[in-house]
Amino acid sequence: MITSVARTSWLNLRRDRAAMVLSFVVPLVFFSIFAGIFGGQRNSTSKVRVAVADEDRSPESKNLIDALARESSLDVRLVPDAKQPAVRFDAKSVEEYVRKGSAPAAIVIPKGYGAAPIQFSGSSNAPHFKILADSSDPVASNVISGMLQKVVMTSSPTSMMRAGTRELDRWSGGLTVQQKSALDQNISTFEKSPAAKKAGGGTLVGIDVVDVLGKSKKNPVIAFYAAGIGVMFLLFTATNAGGALLEEAESGTLDRILGTRVTFTHLLLGKGLYLWMLAVTQLTVMFLWGSLAFGLELRTHLAGFALMAAATAVATSAFGLLLATLANTRQQLGALSTLIVLSVSALGGSMFPRFLMPESLQKAGLVLFNSWAIEGFTRVFWREEPLTSLAVPILVLVAFGIAFFAIARRMARRWEMA
Amino acid sequence: MQPLQIENLVKSFGARRALDSVSLELREREILGLLGPNGAGKSTLVRTIMGRVSPDSGGVQIFGQAAPAGNTESRRAVGVVPQEIALYPLLTVHENLGVFGRYHGLEGAALDESIDKALQWAGLHDRTADVTKTLSGGMKRRLNIAAGVLHEPRILLLDEPTVGVDPQSRERIYEMIESLSERGVSIIYTTHYMEEAERLCDRIAIIDHGRIIAEGTQEALVSQTIGGAREIVLDCGTAPDDAAAAALVARGASIDGAKVVIRAEKPAEAMVDILAVAAKNALPIHDLSMKRPTLENVFLHLTGRELRE
């Protein structure tokens, strides 16, 4: 009896393609996406991109840059534009590079670094490195800071020797013959001294971390997640609301509608308009809540928000119509939308920032419309770029919207005429 | 000029021929019954008239004008009532009528007037604020029909409009349809209930396997297929003995247990004859009836199958 019940359930599952997709395909797709993102596709940890501006231009600073470039965990960029290799970063252009989101952090090697690369005891007068950080990626600046400490120590053995000798003079009182014999003992003393402990604490080189983005924001990560989560749920809402078309087809209402003056193009455009208004309202509510509850700076970015919300809604509403016209039943739509929306959201950066993904996935994400929506909102709320910088994301989103609508119109022909 | 002229419509879906050289005409103010079993091609024919099915060959003329497939101007004179309850269940009665009125191009005072007329006609004027999904099955059916006539079409296609409706509500729907016909609307009424066709339709076209196999008034169809014969049924309560059975069979009767059936061109004489046989053989008479041939008999005669098989 029990096996009969189990068998009946299995037969039902076998006949229900949507349930089969949800049971077996969706988990595999997600496993692959997450494995790709966090597993780096068989690579070890993904590289942290860092831009380097060399203000010192000394042999020591060159050594340091070469050593940084050899680090497997860093992707070092020295020029803002690969087509002009002669034009290297300076302090200004490297900050702009981070501000645009091209790298999560940058190192500025200060003038005078070559003269005194290392101070065991630390000195406020000594030139300090600057790490210019985009605090939306809190990991990158810490990784770069640690790597910089390590590279400075290992990349300049002569500097280390000179610095060591200076410290030896200081602690031994001069390198007399008698004192040479006491060197080992004094080094032992040094190792136990507070200064040595301080050296181990990371002050071999002075580093100032400067947030070039988000330092004035009350809760900087909110801007990113308001966009990411907002766009993801916009897609779910749009596909769900687009499913009304399937209900109308199943209930015969579509037949009745098409027996009136309403053509299928009217019908799709009308539904698209409704989905667009729904999406704009949904985004407005989302960002208002972000503003009220989490201090998102909506009031000062209203124009950018309005432009991006309007363009994002064009793409998501047409996407909802497209999925609805691809499916034959509500159940199919449920399975299809779960699979596609979650995949697109994961790869497009709704669930976690794209800059945390391997570079190949970051590039792949650019073919997804939602990544452009998130990019646009990030430019408005995070990087505070001028409205003109939204031209490309807006054009891409509108182009996606037009393409989705055209395909949806084409797919809908099966309902229109037998 | 007839409201609707259908000529040699052919439509196949893959290997299945849904319409096979269908020709029909709908006359002014007439209710034409399209009678056939499920899957006979009734809905495909209705959808072709609506412009939703593109025929492989043949064509449709509406008031003398060719009506190619698609949502064309020529179809403005046509109203459609689908087989399903094609309404928005969460909208009120008034809102549903408003939606479809606007889709038909009505607005303002004209829309309000149409809705009021439709509500009165369908007997739903006291339910305007009710949410559609809360209505009874019969009320939903009436609203479904009302939504198809808001724009006052001159031709109405009714696709099985009484499916799942109780007899009382069905009668109410018949009255609505008859009043439409009196107002000059020409109606195609598809059904697989012969009683409906007999009750409502001026003429009947019988469709089977995509072909019109007979067409005419009910009397003409019966006369063309079965002729003037009537069926006399005698219920004896128990099976007649051998002598009685032999006498009945000699008069053309068929015997099925206690039931004796005779088809007779002269029913009065046949009845007298049967009663005489019963008296002579002491057969008990539980029931004796004479049945007029129905469309069911016509369909059985034409196809060898029951209409609802």
CATH number of the domain within which B233 lies: 3.30.70
Q: How far from B252 is each of B132, B222, B261, B289, CA to CA, in Å?
A: 57, 21, 9, 17
Tell me the average pLDDT across A320-337: 87
Number of CB atoms found within 10 A of residue A162's CB: 14
Residues 193-232, chain B, touching A (beta carbon < 8 A): none
Amino acid identity, position B81: V
**One domain, residues A264 and A205:** no
Mutate to test the interface with B, among A248, A250, A257, A260 (most CBs of B within 10 A): A260
Question: Does some domain include residue A101?
Answer: yes
**One domain, residues B161 and B255:** no
In terms of Cα–Cα distance, which of B282, B291, B285 is closest to B247?
Answer: B282
Q: What is the distance in angstroms between the Cα of B1 and the nearest Cα belonging to chain A?
A: 23
- Domain range holding A393? 220-416
**One domain, residues A265 and A387:** yes
| Tally: H helices and E strands in chain B | 10, 14
Q: What is the distance in angstroms between the Cα of A42 and the nearest Cα belonging to chain B?
A: 50
Question: Does some domain include residue B306?
Answer: no
Q: Does B84 touch chain A (CB under 8 A)?
A: yes
**One domain, residues B234 and B220:** no
**One domain, residues B196 and B236:** no
Query: Would you call A261 and B100 a contact, using CB atoms and an 8 Å cutoff?
Result: no
Q: Does A386 touch chain B (CB under 8 A)?
A: no
**One domain, residues B80 and B212:** yes
**One domain, residues A237 and A115:** no
Question: Does some domain include residue A43?
Answer: no
| Tally: H helices and E strands in chain A | 20, 5
**One domain, residues A272 and A386:** yes
Question: Does some domain include residue B283?
Answer: yes
Mutate to test the interface with A, among B52, B157, B160, B190 (most CBs of A within 10 A): B52
pLDDT at residue A126 above 90?
A: no
Find the closest chain A residue to B45 by CA distance: A418
**One domain, residues B157 and B285:** no
**One domain, residues B189 and B54:** yes
pLDDT at residue A118 above 70?
A: no
Residue after which a domain boundary falls, among B185, B200, B224: B224
**One domain, residues A209 and A268:** no
**One domain, residues A209 and A330:** no
Taking contacts as CB-CB distances below 8 angstroms, the residues of chain B near A252 are: 82-86
Contact B33, B200 (CB under 8 A): yes
Question: Does ipTM top 0.85?
Answer: no
Q: What percent of chain A has pLDDT over 90?
A: 12
Question: Does some domain include residue A19?
Answer: no
Q: Does A410 touch chain B (CB under 8 A)?
A: no
Q: Which of A256, A262, A416 is facing B86, going by the closest CB pair?
A: A256
Kindly calculate the radius of gyration of chain A based on its CA atoms and give it in whole angstroms. Answer: 29
Q: How many domains does chain A have?
A: 2
Q: Does A265 touch chain B (CB under 8 A)?
A: no
Question: Does some domain include residue A377?
Answer: yes
**One domain, residues A306 and A278:** yes
Contact B263, B231 (CB under 8 A): yes
Model confidence, pTM? 0.72
**One domain, residues B258 and B162:** no
Q: pLDDT by residue (tens digit) across A159-192?
A: 565 566 666 666 666 666 666 566 556 555 655 5
Question: Does some domain include residue A24?
Answer: no
Find the closest chain B residue to A416 by CA distance: B52
Confidence band (pLDDT; 50, 70, 90) for A27?
A: low
**One domain, residues B177 and B263:** no
Query: Would you call B75 and A418 a contact, using CB atoms and an 8 Å cutoff?
Result: no
Q: How many domains does chain B have?
A: 2
* CA atoms within 13 Å, Cβ hemisphere of A282: 22
Q: What is the pLDDT of residue A415?
A: 83
The beta strands (E) that lie in A94-175 are given as 105-109, 129-134
**One domain, residues B247 and B274:** yes
**One domain, residues A233 and A151:** no
Question: Does some domain include residue B124?
Answer: no
Q: What is the pLDDT of residue A201?
A: 41
**One domain, residues A344 and A242:** yes
Q: What is the pLDDT of residue A41?
A: 46
Which has more pLDDT, A55 or A37? A55
Q: Does B164 touch chain A (CB under 8 A)?
A: no
Q: Does A356 touch chain B (CB under 8 A)?
A: no
Taking contacts as CB-CB distances below 8 angstroms, the residues of chain A near B78 are: 259
Q: What is the pLDDT of residue B134?
A: 92
Tell me the average pLDDT across A188-198: 51
pLDDT at residue A197 above 50?
A: no
Number of CB atoms found within 10 A of residue A176's CB: 10
Cα–Cα distance between B77 and B64 in angstroms, integer? Answer: 12
Q: Does B133 touch chain A (CB under 8 A)?
A: no
Query: Would you call A418 and B50 a contact, using CB atoms and an 8 Å cutoff?
Result: no
Q: pLDDT by residue (tens digit) across B214-253?
A: 899 888 888 888 777 888 898 988 888 888 888 888 888 8
Question: Does some domain include residue A175?
Answer: no
Q: What is the pLDDT of residue B119?
A: 94
**One domain, residues A203 and A323:** no
Lowest mean pLDDT among A5-19, A181-195, A273-287, B144-158: A181-195
Tell me the average pLDDT across A281-300: 85
Q: Which of B70, B79, B104 is facing A261, going by the closest CB pair?
A: B104
Taking contacts as CB-CB distances below 8 angstroms, the residues of chain A near B107 are: none
Q: Does A261 touch chain B (CB under 8 A)?
A: yes
Q: What is the pLDDT of residue A85?
A: 79
Q: Which of A252, A261, A262 is facing B82, going by the closest CB pair?
A: A252
Mutate to test the interface with B, among A245, A248, A251, A255 (most CBs of B within 10 A): A255
Taking contacts as CB-CB distances below 8 angstroms, the residues of chain A near B147 are: 256
Lowest mean pLDDT among A98-102, A181-185, A354-358: A181-185
Question: Does some domain include residue B75?
Answer: yes
Find the closest chain B residue to A264 by CA distance: B71
**One domain, residues B163 and B253:** no
Q: What is the pLDDT of residue B221?
A: 86
CATH number at residue A147: 3.40.1710.10
- Domain range holding B201? 4-86+147-224
pLDDT at residue A33 above 70?
A: no
Cα–Cα distance between A319 and A407 in angstroms, integer? Answer: 10
Q: What is the pLDDT of residue A176?
A: 67
* CA atoms within 13 Å, Cβ hemisphere of B285: 15
Residue after which a domain boundary falls, among B224, B252, B281: B224
Question: Does some domain include residue B301?
Answer: no
Question: Does some domain include residue A121?
Answer: yes
**One domain, residues B179 and B270:** no
Write the burial class of residue A187 (CB in 10 Å: 0-12 exposed, 13-18 middle, 19+ buried): middle
Q: What is the distance in angstroms between the Cα of A336 and the nearest Cα belonging to chain B?
A: 25
Q: Which of B83, B85, B104 is facing A260, going by the closest CB pair?
A: B104
CATH number at residue B179: 3.40.50.300
**One domain, residues A264 and A144:** no
Q: Which two tokens stand for residue B16?
A: 């299945």
Q: Which of B50, B54, B88 is facing A259, going by the closest CB pair?
A: B50
Question: Does some domain include residue B105?
Answer: no
Q: What is the pLDDT of residue A46?
A: 63
**One domain, residues B271 and B154:** no
Query: Would you call B82 and A256 a contact, using CB atoms and an 8 Å cutoff?
Result: yes
Find the closest chain A residue to B96 by CA distance: A253
Contact B44, B11 (CB under 8 A): yes
Q: Which parts of chain B register pLDDT below 50? A: none
CB pairs under 8 A between A and B: 61
Q: Does A86 touch chain B (CB under 8 A)?
A: no
**One domain, residues A311 and A204:** no
Q: What is the mean pLDDT of chain A?
A: 78
Q: Does B85 touch chain A (CB under 8 A)?
A: yes
pLDDT at residue A356 above 90?
A: no
Q: What is the pLDDT of residue A343?
A: 87
Q: What is the pLDDT of residue B158?
A: 92
Contact B98, B104 (CB under 8 A): no
Query: Would you call B80 and A255 a contact, using CB atoms and an 8 Å cutoff?
Result: yes
DSSP 8-state secondary structure symbol assigned to residue A25: I
